[in-house]
Amino acid sequence: MTSITTKPRRGRPLKSAQENRDTKAELIRSGLEQLTESGFASSGIDPILKRVGVPKGSFYHYFSSKEAFGLAVIESYANYFANKLDTYLLDESYPPLMRIKNFADNAKAGLERHHFKRGCLVGNLGQEVDLLPESFRQILIDIFDAWQLRISQCFKLAQTHGDLSITADCDQLAECFWIGWEGAVSRTRLVQSTTPLDNYLDNFIAGLPR
C-alpha cells in the first residue's frame, strides 16, 4: 500500500484563529486611537497599520474596506463606553446624581491621562458627519440614544430618591446632558484643561428641578 505524505506549504504558516482575533483586535485598538485623535475622514490606514506592524495587504484580510473598519471601531468604542457608563450609573453605593459626577470624574482623568489629545469618538464623528459614509449616521444616532437612556434611567432613580422633581422630563434632561457634555469635552480639549467640564457639570446639576 502506497503511503501518501502531505507536502509542507510554502510561505508563511497559516495563522491560528486566536492569532487572527488578536491581530484584528490590535487593529481596532490602533484605529480607535487614531480616529479619536484625528477623526475618520483625515485618517489614513498607514499610521494605523504602522502601530500594529501589519502590512497593508493583510489589512483587507480582516476588513473589506475602510468603511467596514470604521464600523468595527465604532462598535468597539460603543461597547467600551456603555460598560463604563454601567459601571458608574449602576453603582448602588452612591446616590444617583453622585453616580453621574463619578462618571464625569473618570472621564476627566482619562482626558488628562492622554494629554487632551483624545475626546469622545462618537462625539468627534458626529461633528464630521457630512464627511462620513452614510452608514455611520444612524449608528451614531443609536449610540447616543443608548447613552441617553442610561442617563434618563439614572434621573428617574433620582426622582424616587427625592433628589429630582417628580415632574421633570428625564428623557429630555438626558438629551440635554449629552448635547452639553459633548460641547464641554470639545472645549476641554481646546483649552487643555478640565475646567469647562467642571463648569458644565456643576451648572447642569445645580439647574436640575428639585
pLDDT confidence of residue 57: 81
Our count of domains for the chain comes to 1
Q: Does residue 29 form part of some domain? A: no
Q: Does residue 75 form part of some domain? A: yes
Domain assignment of residue 112, given as a range: 71-206
Half-sphere exposure of 65 (CA within 13 A, CB side): 5
Other Cβ atoms within 10 Å of 91 Cβ, number? 13
Q: Supply 119's cell numbers.
A: 475626546
Q: How far apart are CA 33 and CA 36, in angstroms?
A: 5
Q: Does residue 168 form part of some domain? A: yes
Find how far residue 8's CA is from the centre of its chain. Answer: 44
pTM reported for the whole predicted model: 0.84
Q: Does residue 57 form part of some domain? A: no
Could you tell me the CATH number of the domain that includes residue 125? 1.10.357.10
Round the CA-based radius of gyration of the chain to a whole number and report it.
22
Q: How far apart are CA 39 and CA 127, in angstroms?
A: 9
Q: Does residue 59 form part of some domain? A: no
The residue-averaged pLDDT of 161-183 equals: 97
User: pLDDT digits over 43-98, tens only?
Assistant: 888 889 988 888 888 888 899 999 999 999 999 999 999 999 999 999 999 999 99
User: pLDDT digits over 148-165, tens only?
Assistant: 999 999 999 999 999 999
